[in-house]
Every structure is written in C-alpha cells, then in structure tokens.
A = this chain, B = another copy of it.
Amino acid sequence: MSTQTPRSGCTATVLLVGFEPFGDDAGNPGWDAVRLLDGAQIGGRRVVAACLPVTFGESLRQLQAHIDRLAPELVIAVGLAGGRSRLSLERVAINVDDARIPDNAGACPIDCPIVDDGPAAYFSNLPIKAMLVALRDAGIPAEVSQTAGTYVCNHVFYGLMHALRHQPGVRGGFIHVPYSPAQATRRPDAPSLPAATVAEGLRIAVQAALDTAQDLRIAAGAVH
C-alpha cells in the first residue's frame, strides 16, 4: 500500500479504495484485489490503493483525507458483496444507513441519514455501461447493480459522491465484488472469484472509465 507516498506532480492519479475485513471473515476480497493494482499504470495514470475501515463515519473521514492528499481524477471504492457472482457496477447510493450487523467499531445505525439534509441519492458518474461492455468483452462477469445496500459500502459510496459534488471533473463510483474462493469454502453454494480475476476486471473497468467521456446507451436495468 503506497498510501503514504506523496503525489507525483506529473502523473494523474486513480484512487482505488478497498476495505478491511468485517463480519466473520479474515480477509476482504475488495482490498485483496485493489492492492494488487497499487502502483500500477492504467491509461497513463498511477493507481494508488488505500484501505478503509468498515466503520460508519470514520471510513468517510479517511476517504476524504485520501482525496485531499491525492487529488485523484478518478475514485472507485471496491467492497465485498458476499453472495453475488460478478463485478457489480453500482448505479446509485442512497442517503440511509441501516445496519443488519455492527460495523467494526460496534455501531449499528438504523434508518439514519448519512448526510443530514443531503439528497436522497446520488448516481455514480462513472460510465457504468461502457465499463460493463469492456468487462464482458474481456470475459469477466459483470453487471450493473441498482442497489449498494444500506451498510458501510453504500455509506462510503454516498459519502464519496457527496464529496465530489462540487468537483465536476472528478469521477467516482463503487464496484462490489464476490467472495474469494477461500471465503466461499465456508458458505454453502456461494459464488466466488479469485483476486487475480477481480484485479484484472478492475484494471479493465478503470481503463474503460478513463477512455469514455460519454457513456453508452445500452440497457442494463432491472425489471424489479
């Protein structure tokens, strides 16, 4: 993790954010994939990986500090969606915390706004349809998702988009990833993807985001 590295003056930065483990798990496949890309060059930009705590509030304070320090042109947070089978490109973050399990600091907010008087939701401003196509073309399973849940992932996604609301040149969004194979061994029937596959997918998704000014118009919604 090169999060201490001072920002190079000459290279634009892509900030990829992962998360600590939470619940019963020893690892977090979002962070496991993100850190494989730390220091990589994608589309001429330098990738910086950072790891956030799975805590309401503190996660957003640390995210803001990373953004302030790095002034990235693109920020993607990458969290675990245990039970999903593919990279989920999140469309929308909603202004509510509703925690089924405590966060890593023991907090369990129920039906609390993330930002008082904030809008009910923010849409990702990533070109999620173009990213979807790029992933499929590369043979990486992906989907557009209409909900990032109501736990710390949605919290960070909403907080990220709120932080970027006055920086129109900076793009941000969220990608959920499946369990790792090792995590899936302990859960009947749960899908999984290895970190190398997820990291390759993130690389392709970042490239597509950097390459796409105007998103594609292809259907990727949900009937319900």
List chain A positions with a Cβ less than 8 A from chain B. 23, 79-86, 88, 91-92, 94-101, 108, 110-111, 119-123, 129, 135-136, 139-143, 146-151, 153, 176, 180-182, 184-185, 188-194, 196-197, 215, 217-224
Looking at chain A's contact residues, the main secondary structure is loop
Q: Given the complex, which residues of B lie within 8 Å of A220, measured CB to CB?
A: 98, 100
B222 touches A147 (CB 8 A): yes
Q: Given the complex, which residues of B lie within 8 Å of A120, measured CB to CB?
A: 92, 119-123
A223 touches B101 (CB 8 A): yes
B217 touches A181 (CB 8 A): no
- Choose among B140, B193, B218, B224 the residue that contacts A79 (Cβ–Cβ < 8 A): B224
- Choose among B111, B150, B197 the residue that contacts A222 (Cβ–Cβ < 8 A): B150
Known: A143-B188, A181-B141, A219-B110. A224 touches B176 (CB 8 A): yes
Known: A86-B184, A121-B92, A197-B194. A217 touches B139 (CB 8 A): no
Q: List 12 A-B contacts (CB under 8 A).
A: A81-B224, A86-B184, A92-B94, A94-B121, A96-B123, A98-B219, A110-B217, A111-B215, A141-B181, A142-B185, A151-B222, A191-B191
B141 touches A185 (CB 8 A): yes
B185 touches A139 (CB 8 A): yes
B181 touches A218 (CB 8 A): no
Q: Kindly state the separation between the CA atoms of A142 and B185 in the bound complex, as whole angstroms.
A: 7
B222 touches A100 (CB 8 A): yes
A85 touches B224 (CB 8 A): no
Q: Kindly state the separation between the CA atoms of A110 and B119 in the bound complex, as whole angstroms.
A: 23
Q: Given the complex, which residues of B lie within 8 Å of A122, measured CB to CB?
A: 120
Q: Kindly state the separation between the CA atoms of A30 and B147 in the bound complex, as whole angstroms.
A: 23
